[in-house]
Amino acid sequence: MTNIPETGRTPRVQIRLVVIQILVLSLLGTLGGRLWYLQIREGAEYAKEASGNHVQQVVEPAVRGSILDARGVALADNETRLVVSASRTDLLKQKDDGKAVLAKLAAVLGMSTEEVEQKVRLCDAKTPQPCWNGSPYQPIPITDEATAKQALQIRERAEDFPGITAEPEAVRRYAAPGNANTAQVLGYLSPVTDDEITKAQDSDSPYLRSDQVGRSGLERQYDKELRGKAGVTRYEVDNLGRVIGQAEADAAQPGSNLVTSIDARVQRVAEYELNNAMKIARTQFDKITGENYKADSGAVVVMEAKTGRVVAMASAPAYDPNVWVGGISAKDYKKLTGKNSDYPLLNRAIQGQSAPGSTFKVVSTAAAVEAGYEWDGGYPCTSSYSVGGQVFKNFEGESFGPISLGRALEVSCDTVFYGLADREWKKDGGINPAKGEPKDYFYKAAHQFGLGKETGIDLPNEVTGRVPDRQWKESYWKANKDSWCKYGKKDGSYVEKIAYENCLEGNKMREGDSINYSIGQGDTLVTPIQEAVIYGALANGGTMYTPTIGKAIVSADGKTVQEIKPKVQGKLPVDKATIKGMDAALEGVVTRGTAAWKFGGWPQEEIPLHAKTGTAEVYGKQTTSWLATYSKDYTVVMTIAQAGTGSGASGEAVRHIYNAMYGVADDGKIDKKNALLPTPQTSLPKVQADGTIKAPKVSKDPAKEQRVSQQDAPEPDETQPGATVQQNTSTNRDTRRRRRKRGSRRMCT
């Protein structure tokens, strides 16, 4: 059919054609292999990436719940600001990308069009501020200071402003009702960190970049409840950000309200009285150091004795929690936390610890009874107690002869407790106890009274205090012996001698340690809240309650109420008779003992008060004042560092707190109308379905009003308060401190 020879195919061409064929097949094989690799081997990986590609979340923040006082007065709530925002997604749907709408909006808000446009543009490498660097699917705030009129203009003509919303938005506010600051108890919020966002990403309550998280106090403890649940809407979007898929939406659940047992008025009174007491202390002369008292920090706790609920908790120095709102400035932050600050963020009621001084004697008394000593036995209250050349003196060399345990507690006789502790120390085998467990009644009792561990109050970062028992001594010595042994000198200065002693036998329970310990000196540390638990238990017959501030968690609509019930932590290791005895002794402290000079004229018949004063020595500093008191329903514990004696520095203030709560005037007359809280608040405030809370009005400053009503005289000048104080300042009577002799380092009232 053609002129082509049938045999025209040369082998060279045939071979090359085969080569081409093989090449082609290997190319296709390569494609197939790669396809298998991508789709089968790595398929799951890519599928994950693909799903991340086109789902965008829009998170609607939940309104944070309020923190209320026992009567419903808001201690922390939210302020509404009118925020005008623009939705980029909606703007881009318009023909001119929303330019006309933004121009109209600018006119309404009185801003320039350019300014508004800059606020809604997205930040990238080339775009300078102002620009939006959040999610483009999130409404972009244009202003948070819109007036109600502007917001109305926008909302009433919604069709003229597609994609623009004017919504009230919540901003945290610490209202300080009645001037009650409550800063350290409430805590504060600060912006969420990247870490937290990543961690909460897959949880049921993811964070927004703009979210605030509770960092301290109740804000932190109850953060989860207060925060609520942000609403999440998931949109499927295409590569241009246009929404193509249906939205899967969870509505935001506003945070619950926290009802606390705090009473804003009592809180204010407690704060005011604490500050006032500190101010007065600074005007007092300390004979030992030869200068005025520094009174640099203090704390007061008012607690319901029968439930452990905290009615007021103040810590000084304080600060204004509103500095945190809207982001704290570097300057303010330094002021709160810097080296030169007085650390006002510390809640000294739970984070401040010092030696308890004589307030510890209730523990020693219980320990003595436990160890088998008769309550009414005659224990010698001599003017001093000598052990192997060491002299431990009683307060100003007082002596009462043989007295009962109750009387020893009442007159705060150190030598009685020295003697008891010393006998027990010897019974346990002295410095080298025999094999087998030493009884250590005095140390066991401290643990049984809840010392050396957190009380478990519903506040973060509570400290434990310390019981200097054998175990602690051993571990403390191990940690420090190297530096002690290096530093200590046999014939050196006082500090060097102590280090030398500690180096040799710091791991052992020395006789002097036990003697000092029995009156709350030495290495013992307690917190005001621990004292409150102990004295509260004495008030209620021996039950130690875990202190609580949260009373109930009430949902935003008031429908669900989750009560926080009082929790029993344990029983005091004392029998009924002993408690009765101690109760009588502590009442004696008020009527004729160390606190009597501050409670003259108190209506003890109507409102029996009990108290124990304490003055703890701190090496290198002025003495710490302690005053632990209780009535039938309340316990009030106040401590002030570097302020002198328990009754001298705190007596006045504590009495004023009781005055305010029970409506007692300075002359002892009771006027129930003036009583802020004669019995504990039991009912919970009502939260209405619409979220509003019925709360009584709190006057501008309950503390000052109380002062006025308690006195017939006009309101005192803040700097010269309390005539009673003036009468007694000259002596600050039971301040006593001597140069320590060896072995007589510590003493207290």
Partner 1 sequence: MTGANGFSVSGYGPERAGWTRVFARDSLARRLDWPILMSAIALSLIGSLLVYSATRNRTEINQGDPYYFLVRHLMNTGIGMCLMIGTIWLGHRTLRNAVPVLYGLSLMGILAVLTPLGSTVNGAHSWIVVGGGFSLQPSEFVKITIILGMAMLLAARVDAGDKLYPDHRTVLQALGLAAVPMLIVMLMPDLGSVMVMVMIVLGVLLASGASNRWVFGLLGAGAAGGIAVWQLHILDEYQIARFAAFANPSLDPAGVGYNTNQARIAIGSGGLTGAGLFHGSQTTGQFVPEQQTDFVFTVAGEELGFMGAGLIIVLLGVILWRASRIARETTELYGTIVAAGIVAWFAFQSFENIGMTLGIMPVTGLPLPFVSYGGTSMFAVWVALGLLQSIRVQRPMSA
Q: Interface with partner 1 by CB under 8 A: which residues?
A: 1-6, 8-10, 12-14, 16-21, 23-25, 27-28, 30-32, 34-36, 38-40, 42-47, 49-51, 53-54, 236-240, 244
Q: Helix, strand, or coil here: 325?
A: coil
Among left, alpha and beta (phi > 0; psi -120 to 50; other), residue 518 is alpha
Half-sphere exposure of 385 (CA within 13 A, CB side): 28
In angstroms, what is the minimal distance from the CB of 32 to partner 1? Answer: 5
User: Whose Cβ is closer to partner 1: residue 243's or residue 325's?
Assistant: 243
Nearer to partner 1, 13 or 249 (CB): 13
CB of 131 to partner 1, least distance (A): 17
Closer to partner 1 by Cβ: residue 94 or 292: 94
Task: Tell the smallest beta-carbon distance from residue 41 to partner 1 (Å).
Answer: 9
Are the CB atoms for 613 and 359 separated by under 8 Å? yes
Identify which of residues 31 and 495 has a Cβ nearer to partner 1 in the complex: 31
Peptide bond into 177 cis (omega under 30): no
Quote the radius of gyration of the chain (alpha carbons, Å).
Answer: 36
Smaller CB separation from partner 1, 56 or 647: 56
Q: What angle do CA 241, 247, 249 make, to 5 degrees?
A: 125
Give me the least distance between CB of 62 and partner 1, in Å please: 30
CB of 116 to partner 1, least distance (A): 27
State how far the Cα of 677 lies from the Cα of 665, in Å rounded to an integer: 15
Nearer to partner 1, 124 or 605 (CB): 124
Q: Closer to partner 1 by CB, 24 or 249: give it.
A: 24
End-to-end CA distance of the chain: 134
Nearer to partner 1 by C-beta: 49 or 97? 49
- Residue 190: both structure tokens together: 């600060």
Toward partner 1, which CB reaches closer, 123 or 577?
A: 123
3-state SS, residue 614 = strand
Cα-based angle 59, 60, 61 (whole degrees, multiple of 5):
110
Q: How does DSSP classify residue 684?
A: P
Nearest distance, CB of residue 11 and partner 1, angstroms: 10
Task: Mark residue 674 as left, alpha or beta (left: phi above 0; alpha: psi -120 to 50; beta: remaining).
Answer: alpha
In the complex with partner 1, the residue whose CB is nearer, 19 or 431, is 19
Closest approach, Cβ 89 to partner 1, in A, equals 15
Q: How far is the CB of 124 from partner 1 (least distance, A)?
A: 10
Burial class of residue 96 in the structure, from the number of CB atoms within 10 Å of its CB (0-12 exposed, 13-18 middle, 19+ buried): exposed
Q: Closest CB to partner 1 among 14 and 692?
A: 14
Angstrom distance (rounded) from CA 721 to CA 704: 11
CA distances from 669 to 398, 658, 662 (A): 35, 13, 10
Query: Please, which residue, 236 or 332, has the CB nearer to partner 1?
Result: 236
Q: How far apart are CA 625 and CA 284, in angstroms?
A: 13
Distance of closest approach, residue 29 Cβ to partner 1, in angstroms: 9
Of how many residues is the chain composed?
A: 749
Locate tokens 């929303």: which residue?
A: 98
Residue nearer to partner 1 on the CB measure, 240 or 479: 240
Q: How far is CA 127 from CA 87, 112, 130, 210, 353, in A?
A: 19, 19, 8, 21, 54
Cβ-based nearer residue to partner 1, 6 or 195: 6
**DSSP states of 191-256 as a string?**
EPPHHHHHHHTTSSSPPPTT-EEE-SHHHHHTHHHHH-B-EEEEEEB-TTS-B-SPPEEE--BPPP
DSSP H/E element including 545: strand 543-546
Residue 98 CB, nearest approach to partner 1 (Å): 18
CA of residue 255 relative to chain centroid, distance: 20
Provide, rounded to whole angstroms, the least separation between the CB of residue 245 and partner 1.
8
Report in angstroms how near the CB of residue 95 gets to partner 1 at its nearest. 13
Distances, alpha carbon 505 to alpha carbons 474, 483, 696, 711, in Å: 10, 14, 61, 57
* Residue-by-residue DSSP string for 247-292: PEEE--BPPPEEEES--HHHHHHHHHHHHHHHHHHTTSEETTTTEE
**Spatial separation of the C-alpha atoms in residues 463 and 348, rounded to whole Å:** 10
E-strand ranges in 285-428 read 285-286, 291-292, 297-304, 310-316, 379-381, 384-387, 390-393, 401-403
Q: Do 115 and 121 contact (CB within 8 A), yes or no?
A: no
Q: Which is nearer to partner 1, 1 or 479 (CB)?
A: 1
Least Å distance, CB 91 to partner 1, is 18
Cβ distance to partner 1 smaller for residue 31 or 251: 31
Nearer to partner 1, 30 or 692 (CB): 30
- The minimum distance between CB 241 and partner 1, in angstroms, equals 10
Distance of CA 229 to the CA centre of its chain: 24
Beta carbons within 10 angstroms of residue 524's beta carbon: 28
CB of 221 to partner 1, least distance (A): 43
- 3-class DSSP state for residue 68? strand
Nearest distance in Å: CB 102, partner 1: 23
Judged by CB, which is closer to partner 1: 19, or 251?
19
Alpha helix positions (H), 110-162: 113-120, 148-156
Cβ contacts of residue 514 below 8 Å, gap of 6+?
421, 422, 424, 425, 442
Determine whether 21 is exposed, middle or buried from the number of CB atoms within 10 Å of its CB (0-12, 13-18, 19+). Answer: exposed
Q: Shortest distance, CB of residue 100 to partner 1, whole angstroms?
A: 21
What's the closest the beta carbon of residue 237 comes to partner 1, in angstroms? 7
